[in-house]
Amino acid sequence: MNAHYLNTILEYIKAKNPMHFKKLKKNIAFDNEQYVTRAEAFFGSYVESLERDGKDLPFALDCYLKVCNDVMFEQMRFAETGAYTSTSFDEVNQRVYNNPEVMSYYMHGLLVSQYLWEHHYRILEFFFNNMGRFTEQIRHVLEVGGGHGLYTNEVIAHLNADYHYTMVDISETSIEMSKTFVKSDKVDYILQDVYQYSTEKKFDFIIMGEVLEHVEDPLGLMKKLHSLGAENATAFITAPCNSPAIDHIYLFRNPEELKALYNEAGWEVALDLIASSESKKDVAIDDPLVPVMYAAFLKKK
Ligand X SMILES: C[S@@+](CC[C@H](N)C(=O)[O-])C[C@H]1O[C@@H](n2cnc3c(N)ncnc32)[C@H](O)[C@@H]1O
Binding residues for ligand X (CB under 6 A): 97, 110, 144-148, 151, 168-171, 174, 193-194, 209-211, 214-215, 238
Between CA 255 and CA 261, with CA 256 as vertex, the angle to 5 degrees is 100
| Length of the chain measured in residues | 301
**Dist. CA 256–CA 145, nearest whole Å:** 23
If the CB atoms of residues 9 and 123 are measured against ligand X, the closer one turns out to be 123
Contacts of 278 (CB under 8 A, 6+ apart): 290
Contact of 270 with 299, CB cutoff 8 Å: yes
If the CB atoms of residues 24 and 168 are measured against ligand X, the closer one turns out to be 168
Output the smallest distance, CB 175 to ligand X, in A.
8
If the CB atoms of residues 153 and 276 are measured against ligand X, the closer one turns out to be 153
Count of C-beta atoms within a 10 Å radius of residue 4: 10
**Dist. CA 197–CA 169, nearest whole Å:** 10
Strand residue runs (E) in 223-264: 229-241
Output the smallest distance, CB 112 to ligand X, in A.
11
If the CB atoms of residues 110 and 233 are measured against ligand X, the closer one turns out to be 110
How much is the CA Rg of the chain, to the nearest whole Å? 18
Output the smallest distance, CB 138 to ligand X, in A.
18
If the CB atoms of residues 7 and 87 are measured against ligand X, the closer one turns out to be 87
Output the smallest distance, CB 73 to ligand X, in A.
17
Output the smallest distance, CB 275 to ligand X, in A.
13
